[in-house]
Chains A and B, each alone.
Chain A
């Protein structure tokens, strides 16, 4: 049995799309586990298990895995899938091949300044492996990104657990041939679509923030220095505001095309 853990938050907009694609493409029996914080419980009818949760995304995933492990067989497969991610083809051949080579397979977002960690937008392992690893999706452990800066993000602690236990994992990379955005609207391994701006239409990623205006050391001293600092803060805020306003438009356009059905929208990314 395949146990699918996915978290929806604040908006039900991806639920029907995700469930339809799961039922269309997953070729093995599966059960779905979710939480719907801030969403009318009426939207939970299509899931097998709806669990009350509150908190951050990583903690919710950890908790779903805990509830699954309490009921599932240790040999069952455990799939983590972001709420705004879904299969666009059967992922099970890729998963089975990967799991014949390593105990865990997951997306690695190299496009996000060379992220090193497994990402919960799509990750599959067995329930037993997850328990043995003491799997934890939280950020905490840091690595160096492509710009030489130390960063952490969701999946950081899982990366460290894999390193410390010497557990190999299979990385799935971005396979888009057309990039409408360097991070959003991603296709991974040719089988999983991840919208990326699913629940937070206006949230800039670490990569997007590298395009923010850069400044050198503050010149002068006293009030002149303070005035310059304030001007820079203001410019930075203006940039953030402008960027935040620009992000939702392509996201909403793509969402509308996906929600309309069919496969034409895939031509823009595949």
Chain B
């Protein structure tokens, strides 16, 4: 049996799309587990288990895994899937092949400046492995990103658990090119089988990946007053960039969502 843990928050917009794609593409028996904080409970009818939850995304995933582990067989498969992610082809051959090589398989988002950690947008392991690892999706553990910044993010503690226990994992990478503009982490296909919209519940967020395209600050003068003016100019430029970026991202996200919601495969042809 496969147990799929997915969290929806505030908006039901991805629920029907996700469920339809799961039923279309998953080739083995599965049960779905979700939480629907700030969503009308009637939207939960298509899921097998709806659990009351509040808090951050990582804590909700940890809790779903806990509830699953209390009912599932240790040999059952446990899949984490972001609310705005879904299969576009059967992922199980890729999963089975990966799990024959390592106990955990997950997306690694290279496009989010060199993220090293497994990402819960798509991750599969066995219930028994998750328990043995004491799996935890929280951020905490810090690594250096491609720009030399110390960062942590969701999946950070899981990366550390894998390192400390010497557990290998199979990384699934992005298989479609990044859009030349907009959010480098959005509209992504991983391993040819999983689509992740990115910013699905918070389209106005300018995340670390998006900030790669932030305009650099201009040179600062040695003189005090021109230095202050240059700082103010840079701050204004960044604010304008942020406002413009949010609007562009929202427009692009809505356009793509509209195409996906309309059905068919046309939207995929744009991406792959």
Q: Which residues of A pack against B, CB within 8 Å?
A: 52-56, 58-60, 62-64, 66-67, 70, 131, 134-136, 138-142, 150-153, 156-157, 160-161, 164
Contacts and interface: CB of A to CB of B under 8 A. Distances in A.
Nearest to B52: A142
A52 B62 CA distance: 23
Contact of B156 (A59, A70, A153): A59
Interface stretch (B18-26, B85-93, B131-139): B131-139
B56 A139 contact: yes
Interface in B143-175: 150-153, 156-157, 160-161, 164
A53 B136 CA distance: 15
Contacts of A67: 160
A251 B62 CA distance: 34
A63 to B, nearest CB: 3
B94 interface: no
A138 B139 contact: no
Contacts of B220: none
Interface of B: 52-56, 58-60, 62-64, 66-67, 70, 131, 134-136, 138-142, 150-153, 156-157, 160-161, 164
Contacts, number: 112
A134 to B, nearest CB: 4
Contact of B62 (A70, A140, A150): A140
A152 to B, nearest CB: 4
Contact of B58 (A54, A59, A156): A59
Contact of B52 (A52, A62, A64, A150): A150
A107 to B, nearest CB: 19
19 contacts: A53-B141, A53-B142, A54-B152, A54-B156, A59-B136, A59-B157, A63-B157, A66-B164, A139-B56, A139-B59, A140-B62, A140-B63, A140-B64, A150-B52, A150-B54, A152-B53, A156-B59, A157-B59, A164-B66
Nearest to A35: B140
Contact of A53 (B53, B135, B140, B161): B140
Given A59-B138, A136-B136, A138-B59, A152 B54 contact: yes
A114 B66 CA distance: 24
B66 A160 contact: yes
Given A66-B164, A140-B63, A152 B141 contact: no
A54 B139 CA distance: 7
Contacts of B60: 140
A66 B158 CA distance: 10
Given A53-B152, A54-B151, A59-B157, A140 B138 contact: no
A234 B63 CA distance: 36
Given A53-B140, A56-B139, A138-B63, A66 B160 contact: yes
A151 B54 contact: yes
Contacts of B157: 59, 62-63, 66
A139 B151 CA distance: 22
A135 B138 CA distance: 12
B213 to A, nearest CB: 22
A54 B138 contact: no
B191 to A, nearest CB: 27
Contact of A60 (B56, B140, B153): B140
Contact of A63 (B66, B67, B160): B160
B164 to A, nearest CB: 5
A54 B59 contact: no
Contact of A135 (B64, B134, B164): B134
B142 to A, nearest CB: 4
B59 A66 contact: no
A134 B63 contact: no
Given A54-B150, A70-B164, A151-B54, A160 B140 contact: no
A147 to B, nearest CB: 15
Contacts of A153: 55
Contacts of B134: 66, 131, 134-136
B160 A58 contact: no
Contacts of B58: 59, 138
A185 B54 CA distance: 27
B267 to A, nearest CB: 33
Contact of A161 (B54, B66, B135, B153): B66
Given A59-B138, A66-B136, 5 more contacts: A54-B156, A55-B140, A66-B164, A135-B134, A141-B66
A55 B54 contact: no
Nearest to B131: A134
